[in-house]
Structure 1
Amino acid sequence: MRTFEHRLRFIQQDRTQSNWAESFGLSEREFAAIFTGQFPDTASLQLLRRVENANLNWLLTNDGEPFFVNHHLSREAFANKIQAKLAYKPWQVYLCSLAEQTMLLLTHPAQIEHKGKTVDYQQLEIHVGPNTQALADTLRPSAEKGQVLVPQFNTTEKKSIAGGQLGTYGLMRNRAMIKTECHVAEPDSLHFPDKHAAKNQVDTILLQTLIKLLEQYLAESDEVLSGESRAKIISILYGFTGKMKMTATDLTPELIQTAIKIMHEQNQ
């Protein structure tokens, strides 16, 4: 799609401007001032990113795919990332098998401030990565709470989602694709066996200790971190402690400080 306007219309899909404005929690006049006849400012682009799960790189440059998908190549990193995210939010998880990979759609009610107005929306994250028993173990506590659903997507739909061709509207509002014909995943049915399963078992005691140390550090310091940043720190720490073969008794507050420093450096 050659122009920004064409790409914006692709994200809009079959919605009228009035309906699209409503999905942003904005009046049609407010919406028109943002997206009609002018290039959106940074705040409005971020609104698109969050509410629609739009890939801003594609929207601005036509590079990549229309909607954002997190692709994980590392088995361990995939399980660790999901474990860290589920530790901080009660995400609704939609579980899909995709050949030798697992696709997870995570949703959660959220809010974003946009020019003095609070916009309520349904946060969507799409994660695709290798099947591992560690991932199954990570999902089991959520499954025990009824928070893991299995949607009945066909192969074409799965490939479209994993390929970044379907965003929040296509999945959650237009025909409510991930809310129809779903069944609750039984905890005992979560098995993604692979030859690396024994090596990739999640150390829940270690993970819980890391989370506790991070919360203690934040309570005693002036550092303010979002849930996403906390999950990233836990993921960094869990990966590091695994490589160093550390146990829960080896953990210190200094490790938390180091992980926060690394995260800030990566964000620069």
Structure 2
Amino acid sequence: MNFDERLIFLIKERKKTPWGKSLGFTSPSITAMFNGHIPGPEFLSAIHRAENVNLNWLLTGQGQPYVVSYYQSAEALNDIVQTMLDDEDWMVYVCAYQKQATLVLCQPGAYEFKGKMVDYTITEVLVGPGSEQLADILRKHNERVPVFVPLLTELEREQITCGQVGTYKMFHSIEPLLTPLADPDISELEFGSTTPDETPVSLPLMRAVVRLVESSEQEAGLSNPLTTDQKSRIITAVYRQAVRLNVSPDELTSDDVETAFDVLRD
């Protein structure tokens, strides 16, 4: 995908001009961007804020489309969550709550663009090992600001965890993935309890799979770019196969995704 094609992927079903206007852009600048012109830093910063988009992906196609912060230890995740929740009134969505925690934090925000203030939703996606301490932090926060546990499919949880879902699809689309429910009850929220057949996601392996799928997509010669759903399904299938075969991140090869892309070509 080129820059303008990634922009189209980013805005989903939204119209180009209304989308750009909502970020503070003028009609000529919107037209230029969708004709392939890469805008300046101020424009890119606005897009990044409003969409939680990974600018490296937007500019080069490398990496995952949306920003996710990964933490290797429970202590590191607990520290950042505690600090963020102490400082500001974040609304929290607990999107995965087994041994691995996936948290989406959001709050209203505003940025200045060309002398005008533009409202947007600040979004932070945090992924790392769950713990009882994290559950305690969230329960305490829930006394002041609601903490929600949305009903998500396994695929939707994986899409959020892998950086395949942005602010728009989470909160502002016609059917958003994350919606606040009345009277949230997280008193029994626990991390670290898994069913006998369930194992936590290996973050190094998942990141390696995402990189492999993205590089393979560029080499596959597909007639059309992968949709978010297609890419997420391929990532999930390749990851599960790697786990089943006990393949390490360093052992992954393009052969591991070739079958999936062959199916799409057909």
Under TM normalisation by the shorter chain, which class is it?
0.5 to 0.7
Aligned partner of 1:14 in structure 2 is 13
Aligned partner of 2:207 in structure 1 is none
Equivalent residues of 2:3, 2:58 under 8 A apart: yes
Shift in alpha-carbon separation, 1:54–1:191, aligned structure 2, 3 A: same
Aligned partner of 2:165 in structure 1 is 166
Is 1:112 paired with 2:99? no
After superposition, the C-alpha distances for 1:69-96 in whole angstroms (9 at most, x for unaligned) are: 1111111000000000001110000012
Measure, in 1, the Cα distance between the counterparts of 2:113 and 2:100: 37
Root-mean-square deviation (CA, aligned residues, Å) is 2.0
Q: TM-score normalized by structure 2?
A: 0.66
Shift in alpha-carbon separation, 1:18–1:51, aligned structure 2, 3 A: same
Structure 1 runs (4+) greater than 3 angstroms displaced: 182-185
Aligned partner of 2:196 in structure 1 is none
Aligned partner of 1:139 in structure 2 is 138
Alignment of 1:90-239 (within 5 A): 90-97=89-96, 99-174=98-173, 175-179=175-179, 182=181, 184-193=183-192
How far apart are 1:143 and its partner, in Å? 1.3
Aligned partner of 2:30 in structure 1 is 32
- Which segments of 5 or more consecutive residues in structure 2 lack a partner in the other structure? 194-266
Measure, in 1, the Cα distance between the counterparts of 2:76 and 2:117: 34
3-state secondary structure, aligned to 1:64: coil
3-state secondary structure, aligned to 1:179: coil
Q: TM-score normalized by structure 1?
A: 0.66
- Which segments of 5 or more consecutive residues in structure 1 lack a partner in the other structure? 195-268
After superposition, the C-alpha distances for 1:2-40 in whole angstroms (9 at most, x for unaligned) are: x1111111111111113313542x366265266344211
Equivalent residues of 1:101, 1:130 under 8 A apart: yes
Alignment of 1:43-122 (within 5 A): 43-97=42-96, 99-122=98-121
Q: Which amino acid in 1 is paired with 2:178?
A: I
